[in-house]
Structure 1
Amino acid sequence: MSRRRTAVLAAATAATAALITSCSSGHDAAGKDPKTAPIANAASNIDKSAWPKAIPNSGLAKDLSLPLQAYMQTYQDTVALDNAERNLETSCMADYGFTVTFPPAGQTPPPSADDANLPRRYGITDRATAAKYGYGLPEDSQGQKGTRMPALTKEQVEVLTGRTSIRNNPTDPAPEPAPSTYQGKPIHKDGCAGWAADQLGNRNLDFSLVSQLDGESLTQSQKTPAVQEAISAWSKCMNTKGYTVATPYDADKVVPHADGAPSQDEINVALADIDCKKSTTLVEIWFNEDSKIQDQQIKDHKSELDALGTRKTDALAAAKKALNG
């Protein structure tokens, strides 16, 4: 899944929904220009310990990195771009006389750092995690609850989004365009959110090809003779431990995971799963076959991927400038 807000209105909606402090007309009462207080200051206080690692640092997938990951957007990249957008949106809104404060991104990290999801790409791989959570996810990787934003005035919504209202879900009616000006000042196309995205080049970031190729390589690699043989060996190993299961993707169904703490039976299956992966070198074999396919994919789509890589690099450089000046 793409982590960038590629649709402009979606960008505006997500940005607006992130507001946690009151948005009022007029400048800051203390006279502080919001443009001189970048979100980078607040972001420095975010707890990054729960952020997923781009390259696993434990388990059977430790230090593994697939070729296509060089073209993916990591969670770290997403946070940088989101914070830069929010900083620019704050500055833009101030130009219209509105003081808005966006919370820094990075407070609700996802379980995986990018689309490759290497820690679980070939099934679970971390024994220490399995011993505690079975097939479930660690509590600190499921994100923290965000703070609900206050209501925005009609004028603030129009300036921020370039629309008369926020579309919170696909079933809502499509918002009407906002007036072309606010107090005589032209409103940007798609509002401050659209303007901010343009400053960073975010509208040009589309990772759908990378996601597609990544999914195809996983499917194709599973069908290779080497991986099929390794999966068969893994299945036989599981059978010796008392579990009848054909593939690692079916292992979590042996003892279905329930909400809350995992049962000891689930943990036992999970540990057997990982031990059998280790003894059969399944993860290593699968990763190698996966990598070979991705190497060829990169050759076949070199021009498109190189162009995306350049756009990503440029956007991150623009984000750094927007946050740090």
Structure 2
Amino acid sequence: MDQFLPTEEQNLAMDRAEKESVNDCLKRLGHESHPFPLPKKAEVAPSGLRFLVIPIEAAKRQGYEEPISEAAQRAASFDKGVTTTQASLLSGTVSSYNGRRVPHGGCWGEAKRELVGSAKNPKKIRLGNTAEVTSQGDGFGAVGYSEMIISGARGELKPKLEKDRRTKNAISAWVACMRKYGYSYRNPGDAWFDGRWRHTSFTSSTEREVATADMTCKEQTRYLDTMIEVSSTYERSYITDHAADLKSLKLRQNVWIANAEKILEAQK
């Protein structure tokens, strides 16, 4: 279902456009200090991460620890410097500032509306088989929305993947391989979420060794290839069954991308 997700470059454009709009709003209100840092390059997550697969070299270096993305680092750094006043302008908890009207939902709300434009998202959605999720404000924004929908769809398909004989065979082959390295786990999730490293703030040599064996076994047993093949089988059926919803998502997404391009063009 990757065809229903924005590309890394499109995500970068939407993210940057939204933050440009936030900064413009703050500047218009007379709050020019501490603008939101703008993303400069697209970030690419490891393609196999949803199947708990990372490059072997990464496992040797960091174990199962996922590196903090530049976006997360920027957001954390920005949050540390946000004053009470700026927070109120971002969220819209005040109606005016410096004699100027603060937009509904604050600068974040205005920026989200500008990017979404006419292609509005619902205020409530159901992600897979989970309970309804309700957005704050006028509805879900554009940035990250497609990923949330597709992730929910894949979560709905997960039980089918787990019951598939090909998946069970792949896990059995992985378990046998791990035993050769001296490790006894029932499935890849048990290794990834082993409490010995999920509840610590540092990466031990044991974690790196287990992670390296884990990724080596996944490579030797072609675990990722199998999981992609099985997943694709069920995703094709899902796409057929939810054609109208996915088409609507893609059409809205095209509007958001076009709006982002207009916002960024106006900044030049």
Q: What is the rounded CA distance, in whole Å, between the counterparts of 1:235 and 1:317 in structure 2?
A: 47
Residues 100/267 of structure 1: CA separation in 2 closer, same or farther (3 Å cut):
closer
Matched, 1:120 2:49: yes
Matched, 1:290 2:224: no
Could you say which residue in structure 2 is the equivalent of 1:146?
Answer: 77
The TM-score, its normalising length taken from structure 1, stands at: 0.61
Residues 93/236 of structure 1: CA separation in 2 closer, same or farther (3 Å cut):
closer
For residue 212 of structure 1, what is the amino acid of its counterpart? G
Aligned length: 236
- Out of 214, 222, 225, the position equivalent to 2:154 is 214
Which runs of 5 or more residues in structure 2 are unaligned? 122-141
The 10-residue stretch of structure 1 (144-153 or 313-322) with the greater mean CA deviation from structure 2:
144-153
Could you say which residue in structure 2 is the equivalent of 1:21?
Answer: none
**Structure ranking higher in helix proportion:** 2
Residue 256 of structure 1 aligns to a residue whose secondary structure is helix
- RMSD (Å) for aligned C-alpha atoms: 3.4
Structure 2 contact 39–71 (Cα < 8 Å) conserved: no
Structure 1 contact 162–189 (Cα < 8 Å) conserved: yes
Could you say which residue in structure 1 is the equivalent of 2:207?
Answer: 266
Within a 5 Å distance, the mapping from 1:1-325 to structure 2 comes to 68-73=1-6, 77-99=10-32, 102-106=35-39, 113=45, 118-138=47-67, 143-144=72-73, 145-147=76-78, 148-151=80-83, 153=85, 161-164=91-94, 178=95, 183=99, 187-201=102-116, 203-204=120-121, 205=142, 206-207=145-146, 208-252=148-192, 256-257=196-197, 258-263=200-205, 265-325=206-266
Q: What is the rounded CA distance, in whole Å, between the counterparts of 1:101 and 1:255 in structure 2?
A: 39
Q: What is the rounded CA distance, in whole Å, between the counterparts of 2:191 and 2:204 in structure 1?
A: 14
Residues 209/86 of structure 1: CA separation in 2 closer, same or farther (3 Å cut):
closer
The structure with more radius of gyration: 1
Which runs of 5 or more residues in structure 1 are unaligned? 1-67, 165-177
Q: What is the CA-CA distance between 1:280 and the residue it aligns to?
A: 1.8
Residues 278/193 of structure 1: CA separation in 2 closer, same or farther (3 Å cut):
closer
Residues 236/84 of structure 1: CA separation in 2 closer, same or farther (3 Å cut):
same
Could you say which residue in structure 1 is the equivalent of 2:135?
Answer: none
Residue 104 of structure 1 aligns to a residue whose secondary structure is coil
Question: What is the percent sequence identity of the aligned residues?
Answer: 26
Structure 2 contact 92–102 (Cα < 8 Å) conserved: yes
Q: What is the CA-CA distance between 1:266 and the residue it aligns to?
A: 2.7
The TM-score, its normalising length taken from structure 2, stands at: 0.72
